[in-house]
Structure 1
Amino acid sequence: FVGTKKQARSVIEDEAIRSKNHYITERWLGGTLTNFVTIKRSIRRMMQLQRDSESDEAWANLTKKEILGLMREKEKLESLHRGIKDMKKLPDALFIVDTVHEKIAVAEARKLDIPIIALLDTNADPSVIDYPIPANDDSIRTIQLITRRLADAALEGKSGKKVKAEEKTEEKIENVEEVE
């Protein structure tokens, strides 16, 4: 799940966590997919800084200035890599909110033949997207609705069972058919 726009950040993070998927809500770093080896190195550095900050001995001989610098580095790395720190391999697909804003993510996925599912506004080019979803990518409610449905689909795909929200929708459809 990729959504670095202000409107999309919290929704993307919540739904990605709920569906146990990786996400990026801060800045898309160039090379996140195409240079994944370097990104993994950066994630290892972040994990090392986390372990060191939790142990008393690791930073005992450092000055306050050095500790502050390491803490800032740790916070920066955590904000950039929070959603992908457990990612072991490249994703099977990307869901992107606003492909105009996330040009680099689209280009990297294209280069690696990773399928793209994207929420597209009228200003975006749907020809470069495998599964375009035309909708207002500035509306929080639209982002929430579509992201929730995709997260449900991801959960369903992982478990092989229907998700409750899907079942409720199907029940409503059946009730409407009975009335007709």
Structure 2
Amino acid sequence: MTMKQLLDSGAHFGHQTRRWNPKMKRFIFTDRNGIYIIDLQQTLTYIDKAYEFVKETVAHGGTILFVGTKKQAQESIADEATRVGMPYVNQRWLGGMLTNFTTVHKRLLRLKELESMEQTGGFEGRTKKEILMLTREKTKLERTLGGIRDMAKVPSAVWIVDTNKEHLAVSEARKLNIPVVAILDTNCDPDLVDYPIPGNDDAIRSAALLTRVVASAVAEGLQARAGRSNDAEAKPDASAEPLAEWEQELLAQSATADGITEGGPEAPREAVAEADSKLAEAPADVADAEKQA
């Protein structure tokens, strides 16, 4: 990850100065034309910490739940989570999805039951009204729970885009002591996040880039877990679960799809100079247009 990638994605743009959380002050470099500019040097540092945490969590058999229901994040959340075989929520967060997972799991079993009925001819012999009701039920369950259909237990950690919008997910994770990894925009509360990444959570490119970084950490963790699995006969490691066959296949796919480049960050002053030039080209109202309130 480089400073230029962050700048190109617009990760440095915060909210307007009148809409901010004072607790975010330490992550703000300056303000330009009434818009806060996030310190991307800190962003790079926190990306490294979050990346290492996610990688180690997955390497030891953990799962990461990707959460992002706002329009700007829905596509990248689904694409990146699917790429590395992790569960995701990109439509609507159902209350109790973590704290009442037993009930949610029953709904997942119902979804699989309906899918099995449809595939094996279980709908045959029923009235049109019954088939319509069953189809609607399946569609509704797919829309709300499709991303977590294979999640057998609560996740080891959650990745969240926009902690304000996903406050229910944050609250439930904290109640269960599940670590929260999230983008911190200038209107967020850093006290609620265990592994923060200061950045723009409203721009599509920024959310997609940071979500891809987390997915890449997951992919690296899966590779590490695969290595440990290969050595299990010589030296068993009870803390790491072996890779499932579908996870082995995902490794090959993610290795080619992973386009995050490695490289040292640029000097922070140079980065801010680039940010200034971008702001000069785009008036305050244009820059603020990227911020979807």
Scaled by the length of structure 1, what TM-score is found? Answer: 0.88
How big is each residue's C-alpha offset from its partner over 1:76-122, in whole Å with a ceiling of 9 and x where there is no partner? Answer: 00111111111112111100000100011000000000000011211
Q: Output the amino acid matched with 2:169.
A: A
For the aligned residues, what is the CA RMSD? Answer: 1.5
Paired residue for 2:179? 115
* Structure 2 match to 1:28: 93
Find the residue that maps to 1:159 and give its secondary structure.
helix
- Residue number in structure 2 paired with 1:6: 71
Once the two structures are TM-superposed, the CA of residue 152 in structure 1 deviates from its matched residue by: 0.6
Give the counterpart letter for 1:6 in structure 2.
Answer: K
What displacement does 1:169 show?
1.6
CA deviation map 1:148-168 (0-9, x unaligned): 11111111112128x6645x4
User: How far apart, CA to CA, are the structure 2 residues paired with 1:88 and 1:50?
Assistant: 18
2:129: which partner in 1?
65
In 1: Cα distance, 2:85 partner to 2:120 partner: 29
Q: 1:59 to 1:125 in 2, by over 3 A?
A: same
* 1:7 partner SS: helix
Aligned residue pairs: how many? 168
Moved more, 82-91 or 97-106: 82-91
Alignment gaps of 5+ in structure 1: 174-180
- The alignment status of 1:169 with 2:262, answered yes or no, reads yes
Could you tell me which residue of structure 1 aligns to residue 58 of structure 2? none
Which amino acid is the alignment partner of residue 199 of structure 2? A
Name the amino acid aligned to 2:99. Answer: T
Residue 55 of structure 1: how far off its partner (Å): 2.3
Are residues 1:156 and 2:249 paired?
no
Distance 1:121 1:73 in 2: 37
The one-letter code matched in structure 1 to 2:135 is M
Residue 199 (structure 2) pairs with residue 106 (structure 1): no
Give the alignment partner of residue 50 of structure 1, picking from 111, 115, 120: 115
**Residue 91 (structure 1) aligned to one of 155, 159, 184:** 155
Query: Percent of pairs identical after alignment?
Result: 50
Higher relative contact order (CA 8 A, sep 6+): 2
60-69 or 29-38, larger mean C-alpha shift: 60-69
Correspondence 1:80 to 2:144: yes
Corresponding residue number in structure 2 for 1:134: 198
Q: After TM superposition, which residue ranges in structure 1, 4 or more long, deviate above 6 angstroms?
A: none
Provide the rounded CA distance (Å) in 1 between the counterparts of 2:157 and 2:222.
14
Measure how far apart 1:135 and its partner are: 1.1
CA deviation after TM superposition for structure 1 residue 65, in Å: 1.2
Q: What is the TM-score normalised by the length of structure 2?
A: 0.55
Matched with 2:16 is none
| Alpha-carbon distance between aligned partners in 1 of 2:259 and 2:131, rounded to the nearest angstrom | 47
CA distance in 1 between partners of 2:126 and 2:82 (Å): 36
Question: Deviation per CA, 1:47-70, whole angstroms, max 9, x where unpaired?
Answer: 1111111222x2223211111111
CA distance in structure 1 between the aligned counterparts of 2:195 and 2:102, rounded to whole angstroms: 28
Equivalent residue of 1:71, what SS?
helix
